Amino acid sequence: MRRGSSRRQQGFPCCLLFGRWGIGGTTPHERRTAIAEAPRINDKIRAKELRLVAPDGSQIGIKNRDEALWLADQLGLDLVEVAPDAKPPVARLMDYGKHKYEQSLREREARKKQTRTVIKEVKFRPKIDNHDFAVKRRRIEMFLDEGDKVKVTMMFRGREVTHPELGRALLERLAREVEDYGEVELTPKLEGRNMTMLLIPNRKRRSRAKRQQAATEAASATDD
Mean pLDDT split into 10-residue runs, the chain, 224 residues: 44 39 46 61 88 89 90 90 89 89 85 74 95 96 92 94 94 94 94 94 70 60 55
What is the Cα–Cα distance from 131 to 143, expressed in whole angstroms? 19
**CATH classification of 39-98, choosing from 3.10.20.80, 3.30.1120.130, 3.30.70.270, 3.40.50.1970?**
3.10.20.80
pLDDT for 1 equals 46
Classify residue 140 as exposed, middle or buried by CB count within 10 Å of its CB (0-12, 13-18, 19+): buried
**CATH classification of 119-207, choosing from 3.30.70.260, 3.40.950.10, 3.30.110.10, 3.40.50.300?**
3.30.110.10
pLDDT for 210 equals 58
pLDDT for 100 equals 87
pLDDT for 11 equals 45
